[in-house]
Amino acid sequence: MQLAVRGVVQDGKFKDFGTNSGNSVNRQPKFQIAATPSYTFRSAWGKARLFGTFTHIGNRFADIENQQRLGSYETVDLGASLDLNDRFSLQATVENLTDTLALTEGNVRTVGSANSAGFFLGRPIFGRHATITAAYKF
């Protein structure tokens, strides 16, 4: 059993940047973390590994004016891999298992608080999706 954790704690602010001095740096959360537990074992077919990742991305702003808030979000990914021999392996993953809806960033071409209707364009995270791969080592 293994556990890998990575994260960032930061509070980036603009300095000497006119009216935006003191504002948070756009698209940068104060806190983000990812934890990946995994378990490796021998199976009848070869070396197998089960793994998952929980990721948290904190609140941040899409714009330098700090008017377009991008909310925090969490995702869960799961996967398994199997090394059948020294040359051939298989892997299956499901990313964003909970099908979380969130934005990774907003429209950088829009300054301030979007438009009068209160919406703006943004780049979403991918919805739930699965991948199966096979690898052959030469």
> ∠ CA(11), CA(15), CA(19), 5° rounding?
110
Ramachandran region, residue 96 (left: φ > 0; alpha: ψ -120 to 50; beta: rest): left
37-69 pLDDT, tens digit each? 999 999 999 999 999 999 999 999 988 889 888
83-96 pLDDT, tens digit each? 999 999 999 999 99
pLDDT of residue 105: 86
**66, 87 in Cβ contact below 8 A?**
no
Mean pLDDT of the chain: 92
pLDDT tops 70 at residue 1: yes
Task: Give domain limits for the chain.
Answer: 2-136
61-70 pLDDT, tens digit each? 988 889 888 9
Instruction: Please count the CA atoms within 13 angstroms of the CA of 81 that sit on its side-chain side.
Output: 14
